[in-house]
Structures are given as C-alpha cells and as structure tokens.
Amino acid sequence: MFFLKTLLVCGIFLFGCETKTVEFRTRPTWHTALSGSNSLPSEEVRADGTIMKYSSVASSNGAILQEYLDNVVFEEKDELTGAITLRSVLPEHVLTHTLRCLRDRNWELLFDQIISSQMQQFYNQKEHGQDEFVEFFSSNRRELAKTLQRMHGGKGFGEVTSSKNGNVTVYTFVPSVSRNYQFKTVSFMREDEFLKLHSIR
C-alpha cells in the first residue's frame, strides 16, 4: 500500500485568550507534480480551526511523477481471498479500470473501488440507489465503453480537451468528435493521492 507521507510538527501559539494550533507539513514532491504548482494551497484552515502550512521541495515534476508511478501497484490480488484492489493515479488508469469492469460486468468492483466517494454517497442515499447504479452502467455498457475507449486513445491526438477545477479533472470530446458519441464528458476526482471516476455525461 502506498500512502501520503508527511513530516508533521505541531505548535500551539497563544494570542491573548485565544489558542491556535498550527501544523507544518512537507508535501511529497510527487504530490506537487500530480496537482500542479499553482493548484495546491500553501496554507489552509481546517474545520476545527487548525492552520495547515505546507512546503515542498522543488524538483523535476516529470521525473518525480514517473518515479512515483513506477512504485505504485495499480492492481493487487489478495492470495487468500482473491479480492482485487485497483488504484488509479492518472485519468488513463481510471479509464482502463472502468473499461475492465464494463467488460467483465463487475459492478461491485466498479462501485466499491473506482467511483468517487461523492458518487457512492449519491447512490447510497437513494432507496434503490445501487440498483440504479447497476442499471445505468449495464444498460449503457456499449456506449460507455465506446466513449472511454476513444478518450483513452484520443487524448494524445487532440480529440479530447481537459480542464481542472480544484480536485476535479474533466475530459471532454472536441466538437468534431463529440457528435458521434452519446456520452461526451468524463470527470475524475482526486481523493488523497489516488484518482476516482466522478461522472460520465
């Protein structure tokens, strides 16, 4: 398993009668490489009032990212239970894992490990939410696979544009391609160091 490692130092500063907790953390360089230097805040305040201050070491983002990817196990099978664990760091990994689930009709794996936590909550809050989830992916299986395959192969050929808003990355077909597909947009949400499928429209 690969987890985000941080250097944590806590200090408590008193300003009159007010107590503030400040945590200083050093981000791994691969985390900066994945998110982009302008998208990660250097300081943020948590709900409990704790002030988080971040710093990172400048380095070659491409080399750092590749070094990190070389050490990620994207698919792991438990030898005792046979349970499969899937991990995605880039959108291409999510697309590959999702296509596999569509091929195998493995809706449980798709729900438990590939879609985002927000998407899981959306379906879990409904009385028959998981049935709706299975119905959507099973009834649209071929069209979904058609979109994901084209996005996976067309990103490097200018057929797909990408945009980012916070921790969500959106892939969209260019107009000349989108008219041939029922589903035209796929979004991905970053949860810690891994990426999840967030929506398909």
- Quick one: 191 and 144 in the same domain? yes
CATH code of the domain covering residue 86: 3.10.450
pLDDT digits (tens, 9 = 90+) for 100-140: 999 999 999 999 999 999 999 999 999 999 999 999 999 99
Domain extent for 153: 75-200
The pair of structure tokens assigned to 118 is 């927000």
Residue 102: inside a domain: yes
| Domain's final residue, options 69, 96, 112 | 69
| Among 34, 51, 69, residue at a domain's last position | 69
Residue 33 has pLDDT above 50, yes or no: no
Which residue, of 69, 87, 106, is where some domain finishes? 69
Q: Say what angle helices 141-154 and 91-104 make with each other, to 10 degrees.
A: 150
pTM comes to 0.66
Reported as a single tens digit per residue, the pLDDT across 152-196 is 988 878 899 999 999 999 999 999 999 999 999 999 999 988 999
DSSP state of 115: B
User: Average pLDDT of the chain?
Assistant: 79
Give whole-number Cα distances, 7 to 53, 54, 58, 65, 177, in Å.
11, 10, 16, 20, 46
Q: How many CB atoms lie under 10 A from the CB of residue 3?
A: 7
Nearest-angstrom CA–CA distance, 74 and 87: 5
142-154: average pLDDT: 94
Is 140 found in the same domain as 45? no
